[in-house]
């Protein structure tokens, strides 16, 4: 995937910043995270699929923000925020997020394997996508999404309210 970073930023930077703002709720941190999203894209540009750059960037931004939230010490502002903190703190049952920062962000995405459970959880519980919409976004079946979320519900009953 050829990346002209300036035009890429012009066309998608604002979208990435909005995503980071939504998840981090802090302007300075969101701007900082936005930089890192593009860094990840540039570092992996040779292995990227350019067919849906917005989806790629939104996914990358979500992972970058989750990793930052993992080390945050602030108090959650509301239920969505609390959910994000719980998801961010999770170890991914499918093991994708247990390596280095770069590795845990995008290895799974770029290798064409199923998306991580953390992203699925954010899309469903925080962004309020339906199971069908999540399935469409991450390329899994609805039953596959249900299965992933079932694991999550066992870990987060108080937050999901669905033990």
Partner 1 sequence: MARATDKVPDWLLERLSAGELAHAQATELRQRLRAQGEEYRLSALSASDAEILSALPPGRIVPEIERRVTLSADCARPARPHRLRPLLAMSAVAACAAGLAVMLVVRNPGTGTKTPTDEVPPEIIGVKGEVKPVLRIYRKTASGSELLRAHAAVHRGDTLQIRYLAAGKRFGVIASIDARGQITFHLPEAPGLAVALDRDGERALPHAYELDDSPGFERFLFVTSDAAFATAEVVQALKSGAALPASLTSFELPLKKETP
Which positions lie near partner 1, rule CB under 8 A?
Answer: 5-6, 9-10, 12-15, 17-19, 22, 31-32, 34-36, 38-39, 42-43, 52-55, 58, 102, 123, 127-130, 132-133, 136-137
The CB-of-81 to partner 1 minimum distance in angstroms stands at 15
Task: Give the single-character DSSP code of 161.
Answer: S
The CB-of-52 to partner 1 minimum distance in angstroms stands at 4
Q: How far apart are CA 138 and CA 108, in angstroms?
A: 12
Q: How far apart are CA 49 and CA 45, in angstroms?
A: 8
Q: How far apart are CA 113 and CA 99, in angstroms?
A: 16
The CB-of-40 to partner 1 minimum distance in angstroms stands at 9
Helix extents (H) in 90-130: 101-110, 117-121
- Closer by beta carbon to partner 1, 28 or else 163: 28
- Closer by beta carbon to partner 1, 101 or else 154: 101
Contact 54, 15 (CB under 8 A): yes
- Closer by beta carbon to partner 1, 14 or else 157: 14
- Closer by beta carbon to partner 1, 80 or else 97: 80
The CB-of-45 to partner 1 minimum distance in angstroms stands at 10
- Closer by beta carbon to partner 1, 59 or else 92: 59
Q: How far is CA 103 from the centre of its chain?
A: 14
The CB-of-108 to partner 1 minimum distance in angstroms stands at 19
Q: What angle do CA 147, 150, 155 make, to 5 degrees?
A: 140
């Amino acid at each position: 995937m050829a990346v002209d970073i300036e035009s890429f930023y012009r066309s998608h930077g604002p979208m990435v910043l909005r995503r980071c703002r939504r998840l981090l709720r802090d302007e300075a941190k969101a701007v900082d995270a936005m930089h890192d999203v593009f860094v990840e894209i540039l570092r992996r540009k040779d292995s990227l699929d350019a067919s849906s750059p917005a989806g790629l960037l939104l996914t990358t931004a979500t992972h970058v923000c989750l990793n930052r939230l993992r080390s945050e010490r602030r108090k959650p502002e509301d239920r969505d925020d609390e959910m994000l903190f719980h998801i961010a703190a999770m170890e991914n049952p499918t093991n994708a997020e247990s390596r280095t920062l770069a590795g845990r962000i995008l290895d799974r995405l770029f290798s064409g394997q199923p998306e991580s459970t953390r992203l699925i959880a954010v899309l469903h519980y925080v962004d309020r996508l339906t199971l069908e919409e999540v399935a469409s976004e991450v390329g899994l079946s609805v039953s596959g999404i249900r299965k992933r979320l079932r694991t999550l519900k066992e870990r987060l009953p108080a937050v999901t309210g669905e033990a």
